[in-house]
Structure 1
Amino acid sequence: MAAADILSQPLVLAGIVGLIGTLAFVGIPWVLNEFFPYWLIRAQRDGRPTITTSSYAGRTALITGANGAYGSRAAKLFARHGVDTLVLVDVRDCAAVRDEIHAELDAAGKKRPSRILVWQIDMMSFAGCVKLSQLVRENLKTLDHVLLTAGILAFNRRESPEGWETSLQVNFLSTALIALLLLPSLKASPGNPNPPVLTFVTSFGIYPSSFTMGLPRGKDASYLRRMSTSKDGMQQAHQYGRSKGLLLYFARELAARVAASAKLHKVTITSADPGSAWTPLTNPNQEQLIPRLIMQFSARDPDYGATALVNGASAPAAANGKILHDFDSVPYPPFMERKSGKEAQKRVWDEVRREFEAKAPEVKAVYEMLDAAKA
C-alpha cells in the first residue's frame, strides 16, 4: 500500500492527530515553563506593591545605578521613609537626583536625610569597583541596605577595558565584585532589628536567553568566555538575559557561602525582580516587534518596580538566597535546578574568583572569609 493510501485511513489519521495533540499538550507547557512563564510577568503587571518597612530612621542605604529609572525612584522611596544616610552611586553625577529628593521632601514637609552622598564610579573597570569599596570604608560606619540596580542593555557588541563584553562587565562582573568588596562593610545600624541586606536585580529576560547558556564542551573551556563571545544580531540580543543569568548563579552561590561563613557578619543576600516597565533602558525595544509585544503585555509603572526592589533590599533573614517578586519568593528557573545548572553555577563561581583575584587582589581577603565555614 502506498504511503498516501496509508495516511488516508481514518484510524491512522486519528492516531496522527492524537499524537500531535499529545505532543502539543505536553510540549507547549514545557516550552512555556522553560522559556516564557508568562504567569510570572502577568502577576507582576497586575501587582501593586507598597513599602513594607514603615521607617528607615537611623539606617544607611546605598544604590548603584542611582541615575536610572529604578535606582532614582528607589532612592526617593528610601528618603520618603526616613533613611538617615543615602548613598547615590552611578557613572554619571547624581547631584540632580539628590536635589530632586531634597525638593520633594521639602514640598511634603518631610525631614531630609542627614546625608546624601553622591559618588561617581566607572563600572566598566574593576578599579571603579575597588574605588567604591574604599569610599564606603572611609565614609560609612554602618551599611544596612545595598541595592545594585546598575545595568546596561547593549545591542551592539563592545568590549570593556577588562576584555569582557560590556553587558557581562557591568551587569554581572562589576556588580558581583562590588557585592564581594562591600560584604565586610555591611553592618546593621543600632535601630535596625534585621541583618543588613544586599540585593541584586534579576530579570525575566533570563528565561528566553536560557537556551543559549549551555556549558561549553571540555572541562578546560571557559564558560564565561563563551558567554562573553557574541555577534551583533540575535546573539547580542540575548546578552542582557545571559548576564543576568550568570549574576543569578553567582547570587545563589554567594548567599549559601555567606550563610555558612564563620567570619562574616550575618548578611541577607536576595535577588529582586522589578518586573517590566518602559524606561530609558528598555525604550530601544520599541523598535523591535517581539520585545515590544512582550513589553505591551507586561509593562507597568516603574514606581511599582522600584517599590519591589526596595522591599527586596529590606527583606528578613529568611529570604536569604531567594528570588523576590512583589509579594513573595518565586522558584529559580528550571535550567538552574538541574545537574547541569549546579555545575554551571560552580564554574561561574570558580572562574569569577580567578578573574577577580588576578585583577582586584583586594578581594582575596573576602574570599578567605567566605571559605571559612561554620563548624
Structure 2
Amino acid sequence: MASITQIISWIVRDIYHGWNPLPLPPAGSFGGQTVCVVGGSTGLGLAAAEHCVNLGAAEVIITSRDMHRVGVAKEYLEEKAQANANAAAAATGGGEAAGSSPPFRTECRVRAMILDMNRYGSVVAFANALKEIRRGQGGIDFLLFNAAVIQARYRPSPEGWQEELQVNALGNVLLALLLLPWLRAERRHRAAPAHLAFTTSSASLSNDASKWEGWSASGEGVLNHWNKEEYWPPGLSGGYPVSKALLMYAERELEKLVVGPDGKPWVIINSMEPGMVKTEIQRHVVESSSFLQFLAPIIIPAVFKTSENGARILIMGGLTTEEEHYAHSRQSDGEETAADRME
C-alpha cells in the first residue's frame, strides 16, 4: 500500500501535468506502424488512437463492444487522417517536390473491431481475428490495452465474475495470453520487439494486500474472495482498485514470459499510469450520488486531465526501449522512462 506522502505527491503531480501537459513525441514517432488500441472508441483510448494517427501510424485498430460507438470513432479518426494527408499534400504543392518527401507517412487506415471484455468468447474471437492482420509481416507494432470499467454497485458479468474483475483484470490478461505466443512467432519478422502496454492506475496502490496471501493459502483464493458481493469493496471506486492491483500482479508474470534466454524481451511490456483523467469511466460513480453530481462539475475540470493530455502518457508505452521492459510510467527510484524523457 502506498504511503500518504506518496499519494499526495502523485496527486500534486497529476494536477501539475493537468495544467502543464507532457510534450508529444516527435512527428513520425509511429511512422508506418500498425497500432491496436483496445477500448479505443471513447475517452483515453480514442485520444491515444488519435495521437497515433497524427504521429504517422500506417494503420490504427480500435475496439469497442458497441458497434455504433466504434463506428462513430472510426469516422472521426478517418477525418483526422484525411486532414493530415491534405495538409501534407498542401505543404508539398499537391505532390512531392523535387528531391524532397513528406517527413512521415500521412496515409492511415482505421479499422474498427468488436471486442467485449465481459465475454470470454468475444476475447477469443477477437484474438483470432487480430492474428490474421500482418501475419508473417511482424504482426502488430503497438498494442495498448485500455479497456476498463468502474461500477458504483456490484454487477456480475455474463461469465459469473464481478464486472470490474472480469473486464479490468481477467479479460485483459486472457487477451494478452492469447496474443503473446503469436507476437513471439512474429518477432523473427521484426527489426525490434513489438510493444504491449496496459493502462493502469495508482488506485491499485490503495489496497491493503496483507490478507491476500492468507486467502490464497486457505483455498478461497483472492479472486473468489473479491467476487463475493458481501466482500465487494465499498466506497466511491468500488472494486476498481482491486481489479487494477490484480492486473498489475498479472503483468509481472506476463513480463517473465516474454524474456528470452539472452535476457532480452521478444515483446516489450509496460504499464502506463495516466493519472486522474476526465472520461466517461466515472459516470456510474457520479450518477450514484447527488453530492457527487453537484461536486463533479467543479472538481473534475479543475483537477483532472483531459483525455488528450492523459493519452500522451499512454502512447509512450509504444516508444520504450528493451531496457525499459516493464518499467512503470511513474518511477520513484530515479530511473528515467520514455515519459520522463519528454518532460
Q: What interval of TM-score do these two structures reach, taking the shorter chain for normalisation?
A: 0.7 to 0.9
TM-score by length of 1: 0.70
Q: Does 1:89 align with 2:94?
A: no
Whole-angstrom CA distance in 1 between matches of 2:107 and 2:208: 42
Q: Does 1:69 align with 2:40?
A: no
Whole-angstrom CA distance in 1 between matches of 2:113 and 2:222: 33
Q: Does 1:182 align with 2:182?
A: no
Cα distance change on mapping 1:265 and 1:209 into 2, 3 Å = closer
Is the Cα–Cα contact under 8 Å of residues 270 and 321 in structure 1 kept in the other structure? yes
Whole-angstrom CA distance in 1 between matches of 2:302 and 2:187: 40
Is the Cα–Cα contact under 8 Å of residues 78 and 310 in structure 1 kept in the other structure? yes
Shift of 1:177: 0.7
Q: CA RMSD in A?
A: 3.1
Whole-angstrom CA distance in 2 between matches of 1:213 and 1:107: 54
| Equivalent residue letter for 2:39 | G
Whole-angstrom CA distance in 1 between matches of 2:233 and 2:225: 16
TM-score by length of 2: 0.76
Question: Within 5 A, what are the aligned runs for 1:93-172?
Answer: 93=67, 94-108=70-84, 109=86, 110=88, 113-141=107-135, 142-172=139-169
Determine helix, strand or coil for the equivalent of 2:132. Answer: helix
Whole-angstrom CA distance in 2 between matches of 1:294 and 1:267: 39
Equivalent residue number for residue 101 of structure 2: none
Which of the numbers 193, 198, 201 marks the counterpart of 2:199? 201
Cα distance change on mapping 1:296 and 1:241 into 2, 3 Å = farther
Gaps of at least 5 residues in structure 1 are 1-29, 332-375
Question: Within 5 A, what are the aligned runs for 1:38-77?
Answer: 38-47=8-17, 48-52=21-25, 54-55=27-28, 56-77=30-51
Shift of 1:31: 4.5
Is the Cα–Cα contact under 8 Å of residues 259 and 266 in structure 1 kept in the other structure? yes
Equivalent residue number for residue 315 of structure 1: 320
Q: Which segment drifts farther, 105-114 or 79-88?
A: 105-114
Equivalent residue number for residue 334 of structure 1: none
Is the Cα–Cα contact under 8 Å of residues 268 and 320 in structure 1 kept in the other structure? yes
Cα distance change on mapping 1:330 and 1:272 into 2, 3 Å = farther
Whole-angstrom CA distance in 2 between matches of 1:246 and 1:159: 17
Is the Cα–Cα contact under 8 Å of residues 255 and 269 in structure 1 kept in the other structure? yes
Equivalent residue number for residue 98 of structure 2: none
Is the Cα–Cα contact under 8 Å of residues 236 and 285 in structure 2 kept in the other structure? no
| Equivalent residue letter for 2:250 | F
Whole-angstrom CA distance in 1 between matches of 2:149 and 2:37: 15
Whole-angstrom CA distance in 2 between matches of 1:143 and 1:261: 23
Identity between Structure 1 and Structure 2 (%): 22
Whole-angstrom CA distance in 2 between matches of 1:303 and 1:164: 32
Shift of 1:107: 3.1
Equivalent residue number for residue 282 of structure 1: 282
Whole-angstrom CA distance in 2 between matches of 1:254 and 1:233: 26
Between the two proteins, the alignment pairs up a number of residues equal to: 296
Q: Which digits, 9 at most, give the CA deviation of each residue in 1:10-59, with x for residues without a partner?
A: xxxxxxxxxxxxxxxxxxxx8415xx612113213222212335422221
Question: Within 5 A, what are the aligned runs for 1:1-20?
Answer: none
Question: Within 5 A, what are the aligned runs for 1:363-374?
Answer: none
Cα distance change on mapping 1:112 and 1:188 into 2, 3 Å = farther
Question: Within 5 A, what are the aligned runs for 1:328-347?
Answer: 329-330=331-332
Q: Which segment drifts farther, 62-71 or 205-214?
A: 205-214
Question: Within 5 A, what are the aligned runs for 1:250-269?
Answer: 250-260=250-260, 266-269=266-269
Equivalent residue number for residue 23 of structure 1: none
Cα distance change on mapping 1:210 and 1:261 into 2, 3 Å = farther
Cα distance change on mapping 1:41 and 1:194 into 2, 3 Å = farther
Whole-angstrom CA distance in 2 between matches of 1:261 and 1:183: 17
